[in-house]
């Protein structure tokens, strides 16, 4: 069993999201997500936004330097698109943690339009640019205090596959089962888990359960990132909230693809425990 060591505290900053924190100066927003997780000595970048323009600008405005490693939550363009811009701006070699199907071509079916939404780079391009790729469907230790979840098991009965997300198979396009989808998880001593998601395509409740089982920890201190509830029916949002009430997290930080209706419902249910995950937010946990 993967067992990241507990830390006394963590800092998480939202580097990219669809909106910018009120009062923040010089930051850019875009449809995408990136977060910076640090324990006081090591900095890990989780996702890279859509274009790289917002990522590099916001890292510099926020004074973030000395990133050690990068983790991708999944292969969609709005989470991986900033990689090449990052490598071009910050020359060097960076460990890049991914799951095995992250480089597969992915598509979204919108009415009659089929749009490609996968990673806009080839594996070889990233390796030339500076990526040392660590690829596994099993959990990976990024540092001694932070782990990826590995492929997330789907156990909840309301977080289903969506047939409008497709992936290129051997002979045809198939419904994407998001085997590239992962989160990262750490443990704060005496408080519980900190779970950071990209889009939670596997379901935010499935993701929480995976993290609990991985670390053998019942308490959830914070859930941060995209929960993929935008445009979802009220019933799914309600059932998600019911399951979150049982998990009883100390903080809920919805960002990116969570959706306005879901964020409002979360605030009604959890009050001040919910904080908008806008670019520029800094949390000490």
Annotated domain spans of the chain: 11-284
Q: How many beta carbons lie within 10 A of that of residue 69, not counting itself?
A: 18
- Token readout for 153 is 């098991």
Dihedral angle at the C-alpha atoms of 93, 96, 86, 48, nearest 10 degrees?
-170
Burial (CB < 10 A; 0-12, 13-18, 19+), residue 192, is buried
DSSP label at residue 104 = S
User: Are 245 and 269 contacting, i.e. CB atoms less than 8 angstroms apart?
Assistant: yes
Cα gap 226→198, rounded to integer Å: 5
- Token readout for 218 is 């019942």
Cα gap 101→135, rounded to integer Å: 9
Q: Given this model, what pLDDT does residue 282 score?
A: 98
Q: Given this model, what pLDDT does residue 160 score?
A: 86
| The overall pTM is greater than 0.95 | yes
247: part of which helix (H) or strand (E)?
A: helix 234-247
User: Are 199 and 31 contacting, i.e. CB atoms less than 8 angstroms apart?
Assistant: no
Q: Given this model, what pLDDT does residue 111 score?
A: 84
Nearest to 7 by CA among 144, 142, 197: 144
Cα gap 270→273, rounded to integer Å: 6
- Token readout for 14 is 């939202």
Domain 11-284 has CATH 3.60.15.10: yes
- Token readout for 160 is 């289903």
User: Are 193 and 185 contacting, i.e. CB atoms less than 8 angstroms apart?
Assistant: yes
Provide φ and ψ at 49, rounded to 5°.
70, -165
pLDDT in tens, the chain (285 residues): 678 999 999 999 999 999 999 999 999 999 999 999 999 999 999 999 999 999 999 999 999 999 999 999 999 999 999 999 999 999 999 999 999 999 999 999 988 899 999 999 999 999 999 999 999 999 999 999 999 999 999 999 999 888 899 999 887 999 999 999 999 999 999 999 999 999 999 999 999 999 999 999 999 999 999 999 999 999 999 999 999 999 999 999 999 999 999 999 999 999 999 999 999 999 999
User: Are 105 and 116 contacting, i.e. CB atoms less than 8 angstroms apart?
Assistant: yes
Q: Given this model, what pLDDT does residue 151 score?
A: 96
CA geometry: angle 125, 14, 2, nearest 5 deg: 70
DSSP label at residue 272 = G
User: Are 157 and 196 contacting, i.e. CB atoms less than 8 angstroms apart?
Assistant: no
């Amino acid at each position: 069993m993967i067992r990241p060591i507990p830390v006394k505290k963590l800092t998480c900053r939202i580097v990219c999201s669809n909106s910018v924190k009120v009062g923040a100066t010089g930051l850019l927003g875009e449809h995408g997500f990136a977060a910076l997780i640090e324990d006081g000595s090591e900095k890990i970048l989780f996702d890279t936004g859509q274009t790289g323009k917002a990522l590099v600008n916001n890292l510099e405005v926020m004074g973030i330097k000395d990133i050690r490693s990068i983790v991708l939550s999944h292969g969609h363009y709005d989470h991986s698109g900033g990689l090449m811009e990052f490598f071009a701006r910050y020359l060097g070699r960076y460990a890049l943690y991914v799951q095995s199907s992250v480089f597969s071509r992915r598509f979204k079916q919108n009415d009659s339009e089929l749009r490609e939404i996968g990673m806009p780079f080839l594996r070889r391009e990233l390796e030339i640019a500076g990526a040392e790729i660590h690829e596994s469907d099993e959990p990976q230790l990024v540092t001694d205090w932070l782990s990826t979840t590995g492929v997330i098991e789907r156990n909840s009965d309301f977080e289903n596959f969506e047939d409008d997300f497709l992936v290129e198979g051997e002979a045809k396009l198939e419904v994407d089962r998001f085997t590239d989808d992962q989160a990262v998880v750490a443990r704060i001593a005496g408080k519980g888990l900190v779970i950071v998601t990209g889009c939670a395509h596997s379901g935010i409740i499935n993701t929480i359960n995976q993290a609990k089982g991985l670390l053998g920890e019942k308490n959830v201190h914070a859930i941060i990132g995209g929960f993929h509830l935008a445009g979802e029916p009220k019933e799914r949002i309600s059932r998600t909230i019911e399951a979150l009430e049982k998990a009883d997290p100390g903080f809920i930080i919805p960002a990116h693809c969570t959706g306005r209706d879901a964020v409002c419902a979360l605030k009604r249910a959890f009050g001040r425990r919910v904080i908008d995950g806008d670019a520029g937010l800094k949390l000490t946990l």
